[in-house]
Chain A
């Protein structure tokens, strides 16, 4: 029990963040109209930002809809690659590096 708790406290905040973001991306409905958004620019009334559509694009890519994904935002593949690479690095580091957060 104590060991489990000790092990849990070593999971870095960043790893939790990335995994949560992947899960969140996979649960988006890309076809919904105006959706709930955490984006502060969106709540300030801005219509456009270079990242707009990236989450929906990643979701479409995960569903295998390549064409719609590309037209929504062309960088979904890069985002997936980069995030999974980071998750992999963080997991690999669990053994060697103690994190603060």
Chain B
């Protein structure tokens, strides 16, 4: 019932479709709570892009740290982004990286809400 554009107007593309699917069965209260928590957790694809670009100035791998991939972040920093090749691949790939992270966060948010509000979990 809840419209994703009303609660999370900043979403676009595949993320928009995915979150709409999750919000389908929520009522307005649940949806606005979900939107608040999810917004606090999600990472903007543009920020990932900018952090990836910093890789060309010697700070490679910041985007991997931001996405919670600490091991890869260390590997990128120590090798200047795998000799810049990794940085270039992630530059092509930044939307997928952000989307993957955001899907994970959406599910974390859902399970958290259903934990704290057993009656509020729509998909449960």
Residues of A within 8 A of B (CB): 12-14, 17, 21, 37-42, 49-51, 54, 75, 78-79, 81-83, 85-86, 93, 96-101
Contact = CB atoms under 8 A, between A and B. Distances in A.
A97 B83 CA distance: 28
- By secondary structure, the B interface counts as helix
Given A13-B93, A97-B103, A101-B96, A78 B74 contact: yes
Given A13-B93, A83-B72, 11 more contacts: A13-B96, A14-B89, A17-B86, A40-B84, A51-B80, A51-B83, A54-B79, A82-B74, A93-B100, A98-B14, A101-B96
Contacts, number: 74
B85 A38 contact: yes
B89 A100 contact: no
Interface residues of B, number: 25
